[in-house]
A and B are shown apart, each in its own frame.
Chain A
Amino acid sequence: MRFKSFRWGSLFLILVLLQAAILPDLQAQGGSSLVRGMVTNSGNQPVGGVSVIIRNTRNNFTLGTSSDSLGVFTFNRIPAGGPYSFIFSAIGFERQIVSGYNIKTDATLSLMIKLKDSVASIDQVVVIGYGTQRKTDLTGSIATVSSKEFSGQAFSNTNIALQGKVPGVEFTSTSGEPGAKVQVRIRGMGTFGNSGPLYIVDGVQLSGSDINIISPDDIANVSVLKDASAAAIYGSRAANGVILITTKKGTVGKPRLTYSGYYGIQSVHRLIPMLNSLQLADLVNETDNNGGFAPQPAFNDPQNLKTNTDWQKAAFPSAPMQDHSISLSGGTESSRYALSADYLNQQGSMVFSSLKRYSVRFNSQYNIGKRLLIGENLSLVRSQGLNLGYGNNLDLAYLLGASPTMRIYRPANLGGYAGPNQAETGINNRDNIIGRRDNQRHNTSNDNILGNLYLEYSFIPGLKYRLNLGLNNGLATGRTYLGIFQMDNRSNLRQSLTQNSNTNNEYTVENTLTYEKKIHDNIAINLLAGYTEQSARSTTLTGSRQDFPSNSIQVFDAGTGPSVLGGNQAEWALRSYLGRANVTLYDKYLFTATIRRDGSSRFGKENRYGDFPSFAVGWNLDREKFLKDVTAISSLKIRASWGRLGNQEIGNYESQTTISTTPQYIFGTTQSIASAAAVLTLGNPALKWESTAQTDVGTDISLFSNHFSFSADYWVKNTNDILLRTPISVGTGIARDNGAFQNAASVKNSGFEFVATYRNSGRDFSYEITGNLSTLKNRVTSLGGVPSIISRVENVYQYGTFTRTMPGLPMSSFFGYIADGIFQNQAEIAKHATQPGVAPGDIRFRDINNDGVIDANDRTTIGNSFPKFNYGVLGSFTYKAFDASFSIQGVQGKQLYNAQRAYLEAMNAADGQMATTLKRWHGEGTSNSMPRAIRGSGLNTVASSRFVDNASYARLQNVQVGYTIPPSVSARLHIQRLRVYANAQNLLTITKYPNYNPDTLGGSGYNDDSLNPLQVGVDTGSVPIPTIVQMGVQLGF
């Protein structure tokens, strides 16, 4: 049983001999020879990092090497003779042995090895916290995604690459802008603070979840630690799950040079149908008439009604993007290195935005003697953005709310753009967003150094000390210049320049001791103990100045007007003790226990330290006698874990109530600033850790010689003492949302996760299909005595809404009235409960409490954004030299409060409106869902079920087709490998959702991946995610 997969491996061995002469009857001679070979996977993709051992079975001569990133391995000076056998092993593949080779003197032996993918191969190694572990020995729930699953796809954010591939993890885009952050929720939302996971890159924590500083090309694999057993080793920061990223490393062999690059076009197809000039004019005239206002000349001028500016078309032109990456790697037995450089240039799908990213990575590792190992990873990244983060809901309100009767250009104006004006746009005063983005340019740049230096020392076999020094230094700067321009009514007659910089320095020191020992044939132990410290400091500096001699002069020193300066600083520190024990008995019974003790500067003295233990057990059932003879089962494991995790994601200084001297007032004739001292926010010295207890039971099954594999998990996460700023009475004199953090609430998340994979391969083809499905149930179980928290979510121009979080309901449930059709006539109004101010054509709200009056007490829960389930389907196929892959990702049973639609169907002014308003009520029986148009009325846009939309969707996330030219051709061209491919991302989305992005969770910002969990699910507008079609090349020398 134990070696069954080996047998399978040899059965599936596909050996290609390029030189017919090299056959097992090679003669033994006295000199030395060269052995070269290439390792590919079933999809003909080269596999790097494969351990290759050559062994002369007669004299036990043994030598090891590993394949480089092109899958090529080389043995120089192999003594002639034989028979030799070769053993190939790598993470994620079945071990293969080929044997029976005799090697002639001065001859070259070439091997082509195709490895078979293995889901549950006993040698598969998974990256876990502070180490690695064989997959068979795992007791935790860890999902891994390897780079081959997103190779060649175009994206500026690695999280997008993971979307749909990891069950139980929701990746949602905040915006379609280049480099926009992605909200990641691992197993639901269990906190009212930041719900984003912890990112660790090669042992160094990324600050602020800024995964963007890692180029996707540099990633070798990603491990998502989902359950407590896996994550608890990260203690206080692990409650939201942990994402471990391992970057590509050098492998033994001659220097290898590779190039990969693509060019693609992004285009936005999912536009919102809007009214044209004539249709809007009709609406505005009706609006004015119903509101008792005189008609506006602008909307009755035949000339204007022909303008028909399509603002969406103008704002979302096709935008190119390209990426070029070169890597060099190699190594010897005692040292390895890898060097890579990457250049990304992406135009934003919204006009006047772009992202350029230059990154360089270097890592190397040296064995000094037999006991000492020293190595480092270093990455330097510079990214430059234009107008990024300005595609927020304000810009979208300008874009969509702008009148189609407004022109884009007016050459007579300084700057060349038209703008709103009484003659053409009436009371509609929305900016010309095209002109505004051109005239007001916001440039950002980010420089980041991320790296670590490590050394390992083996005292005795099995006992290893590791010192890891991590560094994460970032400098982010921003610069906004507003020149003088004229856009009709929206002119700017005064220049201003604003610059800011934010320096972030984080240091990590980790000391760990590991001890690995097989005490007895059947008892294996693996122990880890560690002491770590982490500290961070960020410093901000901002300045602005007005009035410059010319629009082209854009530095502070040249300014003539007043200037303002500001800045601040913040620090935090974390000190931790950690330990882990893995015990494996008879290769069947697995036990893991971890403990971490964290001390954080963010908590008061009394509760500074927290303890985070976890326990897990696993049972490899397939190794039991009673299953040994069931040949259908390749492997079968059941596992269970429990652990406690923490969360310290609150501000840095929340344990004290402090006096701020920032507020100022003016006195005197010179209008000098008088210092003031005020309490702005409250602190709580008794704050302690938020703790999450998570239980997970799961099973991993492989059937039919690993052709079919299946995993299932059920998990329950109970989070208590949630750090929460409960809204306070404004009677205190402190803003409602600025009360002290309290350990107030409890939330329960639970869900199922399933993954099933089927793979098969024949001589010329192979394929693999994976499906995953996860469910999530989120319930608030306690709010510490507070009956409910009602949170107002602001949206541009008064179309905000409310969410209510209360025990028994999902967090951030939508709160409002139930829209119950439209009053068709006065009689219906008279019959209904008293609803102040309404007339026929207005929305009828349900009298929930049956008191005959529609008032605040009739608001109720009207939905929530938690989906019933998330799913993904991934497939990959190869046929001879061709390969293809696709991924589908979807969400079912999700709702969003579409606050943007509230604005675009308000019909109470002259703002641009959605085409759906064509079906508005204009007399008895004309509509029972779209109310009448009336200027100045807010009655129909109050928070109600009218704007709760079904946001379920299925998306064809990615399709790729590739062709690798045959080795015979590439050899003639003196290259190792050449693959060309075409890829399409976000090709098709099936949804009923009438706004750009059904996958959004709300929030307004590019940088906002820490969306307030009490405001989740309210879509205030975000830049649409473009479709990307690209062609690419992967080339190896």
Chain B
Amino acid sequence: MKNNILIFIISLGIIVSPGCKKDFLVKTPPDKLPLDGFFNTADRALAGVNAAYIPLASVNLFGGDDISLRLFDPPTGDVILSSAISGVVFNKFAFSADDPNLLAFYSGLYQGVYRSNLVIQQVPAIQMDATLKQRYLGEAKFLRALYYFYLTAEWGEVPLFTVPFKDPNDALIAKSPIADIQKVMIQDLTDAIAGLPVSYGSADLGRATQGAAKALLGKVYLYIKDYTNAAKWFGDVINSGTYGLMDNFDQIINRNYENNKESIFEIQFASAAAGASSPVGDDREYHYWPQVNGGSSEVSPTQSIVDEFEPNDPRKDFELFYYDGQPFAPQLTTSSLNLDVYKKSWSPTGYNIRKGQVPILYINSRGTNYPLIRYADVLLMYAEAANELGQYPDAISAINKVRQRPSVNMPVITATTKDDIFKAIVHERRVELAFEQHRFDDLKRWGLVDTVLAPLGYKARNRYFPLPQLELDVNPKLVQLSGW
């Protein structure tokens, strides 16, 4: 009996101890694969390319709570942030290097750079269809140039990475001269133009196209004031016949007309149908819409932008809610809620943004795509370059194309001199591209920023955003911009 018990116990002890298993302590993530050796098929290359788009739609840049809403339009005075939203300091240049929005935007851009770099480094070695490989590399190079475009436009000189880091400490480097970064952007876009298709099938709409790369290359040249090349590439886009203006201004940025013929490159957001946080939608509606419709009216147009519109410019009605009785969202009216018409009292300034918001749905519907480059923008940039080159008729014609969109149909401009044409461009861009986050960069490019924004508190140091303080704290080689 005693021995039996003993044997029983010993055998029990052995049975329940899984100790013989050698791999007992080897556990691998059930949902992830190791980075080393991951990129080995065309499918995985594509997954890497797709990942490089994501930062655009992320909360750091243009998606979710949308940092870009704070950084670009509020400093111009076209909109004002109310106190409920973070980043009110962008209203009057009161922000500092500590601002978390700046760090987020800066991080988002470098996230894009890293993911593009990973594709550019890893994909060439993959055995796959050569055309497809060129396309993937083209997409990654377009995106890398796009991210660096924003980095250089908002911060000037920044650290330049063209290969993914091996060790995080590889990122602790000094800033590169801006010319070096521009060289990389130009080369990337040149390669992208060669590798990218003119257009995609319906399943791939939203990817970078040859036209997008040309337009961005033109924009890069425009910012370095190489007007000849700028005009060349913008002209290429215009003459390609691939793009055109939408007749109806309401359809340019519209959830029912996404990736339309005016769209050159736009960020793809999921409509409410997906219902999830991933992929992210965009909270632009929430910030723009009045509280009565579940929004917050935290981003409100100011008197200044309202006054910019010429009398009878139909774009005022397309882009703004600005008078009591303006049709709002009759389809949302219920027995207890009258949303038939707009009321100025809904907004702290008396105005709400309408552009890109119609048809107005209930708040959870976020998900309208957001254009980064559209045809009207290219026409006006072309006009700017042509004007600088003395090609006035070309410039005037491009401006008038924008003004004479069927639903806008404003009279042609009368300007003939370089200065007057330039003034027309300044006005036209502000009105046509209102709330599309171009004006702050435009004013800086034109050298008008000091005079125009001084009343709002603009000082010389505001030419660029300060480098995020937390980044300076990590990277001792990074030197803050002067004045910050």
Contacts and interface: CB of A to CB of B under 8 A. Distances in A.
Interface of A: 293, 297, 368-369, 371-372, 412-414, 420-423, 427, 429, 455, 457, 459, 465, 467, 469, 486, 489-494, 496, 509, 511, 531, 533, 535, 544-546, 561-564, 568-575, 599-602, 608, 652-653, 656-679, 682, 727-736, 739-740, 787-788, 790, 792, 794, 797-798, 800, 802, 836-837, 855-856, 908-911, 935-939, 942-943
Interface stretch (B239-247, B288-296, B393-401, B421-429): B288-296
Interface string B184-205: 0000000000000000001111
B15 to A, nearest CB: 10
Contacts of B17: 509, 511, 531, 533
B2 A573 contact: no
Contacts of A494: 362, 364
Given A427-B84, A668-B203, A653 B29 contact: yes
A568 B30 CA distance: 8
Nearest to A939: B94
Nearest to B57: A665
A731 B159 contact: yes
A856 B17 CA distance: 58
Given A653-B32, A666-B269, A734-B111, A682 B168 contact: yes
B127 interface: no
B168 A669 contact: no
A677 B206 contact: no
Nearest to A465: B9
Contacts of B164: 733
A913 B67 CA distance: 27
Nearest to B168: A728
Contacts of B225: none
Contacts of A733: 110-115, 117, 161, 164-165
B446 interface: no
Contacts of B115: 678, 733
Interface stretch (B100-108, B378-386, B434-442): B100-108
Which 8 pairs across A and B sit closest by C-beta, in order of nearness?
A: A733-B114, A909-B83, A489-B291, A658-B32, A677-B47, A678-B51, A730-B107, A731-B171
B362 A493 contact: yes
B19 A729 contact: no
Given A568-B31, A658-B35, 15 more contacts: A427-B84, A455-B9, A492-B294, A493-B294, A659-B35, A660-B32, A667-B268, A670-B202, A730-B103, A730-B106, A731-B173, A733-B110, A836-B96, A855-B96, A939-B94
A569 B32 CA distance: 11
B83 A735 contact: no
Contacts, number: 313
Contact of A936 (B88, B294, B345): B88
A568 B87 CA distance: 35
A969 B373 CA distance: 91
Contacts of B18: 509, 533, 535
Contact of B83 (A457, A675, A936): A936
Interface in B226-281: 258-259, 268-271, 273-276, 278-279
A414 B335 CA distance: 11
Contacts of B1: 369
Nearest to A663: B54
Contacts of A371: 2, 5
Nearest to B5: A372
Nearest to B201: A668
Nearest to A797: B86
A759 B324 CA distance: 81
A657 B35 contact: yes
B410 interface: no
A656 B29 contact: yes
Contacts of A455: 9, 12
A535 B168 contact: no
A339 to B, nearest CB: 26
Contacts of B87: 798
B268 A666 contact: yes
Contact of A677 (B48, B202, B337): B48
Interface residues of B, number: 110
Interface stretch (B20-28, B129-137, B312-320, B411-419): B20-28
Contacts of A297: 345
B38 A677 contact: yes
28 contacts: A369-B2, A412-B336, A414-B336, A422-B291, A422-B345, A467-B13, A491-B294, A493-B332, A493-B362, A544-B275, A561-B275, A575-B19, A653-B28, A657-B36, A658-B33, A661-B32, A662-B278, A668-B202, A678-B48, A678-B51, A678-B115, A679-B35, A732-B110, A732-B170, A735-B107, A736-B103, A740-B168, A836-B96
Interface of B: 1-2, 5-6, 9, 12-13, 16-19, 24-36, 38, 44, 46-48, 50-51, 53-54, 57, 81-84, 86-89, 91-92, 94, 96-98, 100, 103, 106-107, 110-115, 117-118, 159, 161, 164-165, 168, 170-173, 202-207, 258-259, 268-271, 273-276, 278-279, 291-292, 294, 296, 332, 336-337, 345-346, 348, 362, 364, 457, 468-476, 484
Contacts of A668: 202-206
B9 A457 contact: yes
A494 B30 CA distance: 35
A895 B262 CA distance: 58
A807 to B, nearest CB: 15
B278 A467 contact: no
Given A734-B114, A736-B103, A740-B168, A660 B31 contact: yes
Given A457-B9, A665-B54, A729-B171, A938 B89 contact: yes
Given A564-B274, A664-B278, A797-B84, A659 B34 contact: yes
A731 B26 CA distance: 33
Contacts of B114: 679, 732-734
B469 A856 contact: yes
Nearest to B473: A790
A601 B26 contact: yes
Nearest to B165: A732
Nearest to A599: B25
A798 B294 CA distance: 22
A659 B106 CA distance: 22
B291 A671 contact: no
A573 B168 contact: no
Contacts of B332: 493
A729 B168 contact: yes
Contact of A569 (B31, B96, B276): B31
B474 A728 contact: yes
Nearest to B203: A668
A667 B204 contact: yes
Contact of A855 (B94, B336, B484): B484
A413 B336 contact: yes
Contacts of A561: 275
Contacts of A599: 25
B142 to A, nearest CB: 15
Nearest to A679: B35
A544 B111 CA distance: 29
A942 B170 CA distance: 32
A908 B91 CA distance: 13
Contact of A732 (B6, B88, B168): B168
**Which of B31, B44, B273, B468 neighbours the largest number of chain A CB atoms within 10 Å of its CB?**
B31
Contact of A669 (B82, B259, B345): B259
A740 B167 CA distance: 10
A682 B170 CA distance: 14
Nearest to B461: A836
A736 B278 contact: no
Contacts of A657: 34-36
A665 B87 CA distance: 27
A486 B337 contact: yes
Contacts of A661: 31-32, 47
**Which of B28, B291, B345 neighbours the largest number of chain A CB atoms within 10 Å of its CB?**
B291
Nearest to B89: A938
A765 to B, nearest CB: 52
Given A575-B25, A674-B50, A733-B110, A856 B96 contact: yes
